[in-house]
Chain A
Amino acid sequence: MPISQSSDIAEYLGLTAGVLSPWRANQYSVDPVSTSIHVWVTSQAAPQPEQKRTWFGARTVRVVAASPAGEVDQCWRHLDCIEYTCFVHTCDPLDASDRELPWFGQADMPFSNRLARQVFLLLMEGVDMQVICDALKLSFADLWKFKYALDNGLLHFEYAPAAHRKPRSAFISAPPGTATTPTMDSVVPDMFDPVWEKLITGTLHIQIKTLSFQLLLTKLRQQVNLQQSADVKLMKLRELHRYVERHERVLGHELSQLNQCQ
């Protein structure tokens, strides 16, 4: 995939990617086969056009700065550019504040901060990972890596549900299946019932006989205990509620205890 240095096109692509001064796009490549655009961003000053004398007289020549030798090319998946997936690269060394810029991302993370924010909101809304992958054309491995970092407190985002929106029940995001569709007879407490928070924080103890429930609750309690943020807790509550709704028919012993605690 050849890298082009047409400064005008690079600048336009940088503009669509949201790159702001003093950062600028100085190189790009477009791959029509994979329908992807790669844009290289730098904070190096644009070279001044030089007047050079040629055989046919003076003309303006734009000199494109070379990438710093030996620097690592960092790359993040960014927001799509119409039908093309967009990747932002830089060979510049980045400090902590640079890494907060929307078009860059965190070290070893697959997504730019702008895309990461979108993915985070979808996860917080309980959208299935596979749906997110399909909708945003992300690889599952990249999304899993991102969620792993979220789960382990390596990334932080603010989440504030829109005030006009009523709380959604987690079953909206549950995959289709016989055990997932809530019925009028459901005995699963509502997603926002305090009993779930008591359970996930360990202030409520019930006897659990189902192995998958034992293992899941151990994981969720550990994650909530390690990260006290409300965002993480909400995401974990949604995961817990979704599990119980899905397995309602085999969790009679556990659900009877939860309903007594309401």
Chain B
Amino acid sequence: MNALRQALVDPQTAAILIRSGAYLAIAGDESILAGLPNGNWIGGTIPYFMGQEGGSTSREQVFITALLAYDGLTPAIAQYDTEHLPQVCVDAPDNGFSLIILPAFSQIHFDYAKNTPTYDEMYLKPIVGWISGIHLGDTGICVPKVIDGRTGALLENQAVVLHLPLPGNISVNVNIVNLFRQGSGDVIQFESGGFEAASCIINGHAMPLAQYLTEIGHDARLPLVADYNGADINVSFKSINGAEGKVEFYGPVFPHIEYRLARQFDGSYETAFAQASADLPEASFSCNCILNYLHSELEGKRTGHVVGPMTFGEVAYQLLNQTMVHMTLEMH
């Protein structure tokens, strides 16, 4: 059902929508977001999009997701700091969903990534969203932010959330499209979780991870993949530093999870993606990963009918990497 609408638009159009009282999630460059009027919206900084016309890097346009509020069911916008984030799902409506945006590389990003499985009501109530970022040319100049549209406050270490209640006859389906599959290589485990690792356990034997990846000549664009009872969940490589013996990730690895390196991907990403998403219903919330955008050179290319911001991390309950998140509403 067409309860959500998404599009890449100019700031003037976004401003009109905001002034109409619509509930919105907005992705865009910081300078544009800061100039939008106050209203019922949350946002995050990112200049990469999969728009109606294809992949686009833009500091002039914003990507809006309009969320339909139902009669008698008022959405709520909330900010969360690291102390209160564990109750984000408790605050969510009994029937509905939550859309969360977190700033990349902040403490709250790391906390969410590491601890979501332990949050009360997690997996019971749908939560989707994304991690804000920056233009890669701005590295070292500015930092990712989120914005609370009610006040225009730009936040570097808080999450903004839009809780949207739905009528009882509508349910939420959260899906992911991940083109990466576990390869048939070694089983890799970690003794402790986190965004970086020095050592790991390869087929039961401890070994420096950077050394292992260097020795096998691993293509760092291929993530680690774990099988979560049928769901392939990626952890992407940020850097492999052989000299320091350290490997950094874009998401956390977890202990007691069996990872394998992803199988080599054949063919073009946009074609494979279009095929994988062909059967997905339209008019839903979605986002995709900046790494897919960059590694697959999606500028100017379309990935089927699915649009959305290309982000520094995706949220489908927990933090994901190199994965498209797709949410649909189903009427019963």
Contacts and interface: CB of A to CB of B under 8 A. Distances in A.
B120 A178 contact: no
Interface string B223-238: 0000011110000000
A208 interface: yes
Contacts of B95: 177-179
Contacts of A151: 118
Give the contact-size bracket for chain B: 35 or more
Interface stretch (B20-28, B171-179, B280-288, B296-304): B171-179
B123 A144 contact: no
Interface in B112-162: 115, 117-124, 126
B22 to A, nearest CB: 26
A218 B231 CA distance: 10
A220 to B, nearest CB: 9
Interface stretch (A21-29, A103-111, A160-168, A242-250): A242-250
A208 to B, nearest CB: 5
B256 interface: yes
Contacts of A208: 229-230
A180 interface: yes
A130 B316 contact: no
Contact of B120 (A147, A217, A250): A147
A186 to B, nearest CB: 15
A242 B158 CA distance: 30
B235 to A, nearest CB: 14
B168 interface: yes
A214 interface: yes
Contacts of A250: 171, 173, 330
A231 to B, nearest CB: 17
Given A147-B118, A177-B94, A243-B124, A212 B317 contact: yes
A78 to B, nearest CB: 21
Contacts of B317: 211-212, 215
Given A179-B95, A211-B176, A212-B123, 12 more contacts: A130-B120, A140-B87, A141-B83, A144-B120, A151-B118, A178-B94, A178-B168, A215-B117, A215-B229, A216-B123, A221-B229, A246-B124
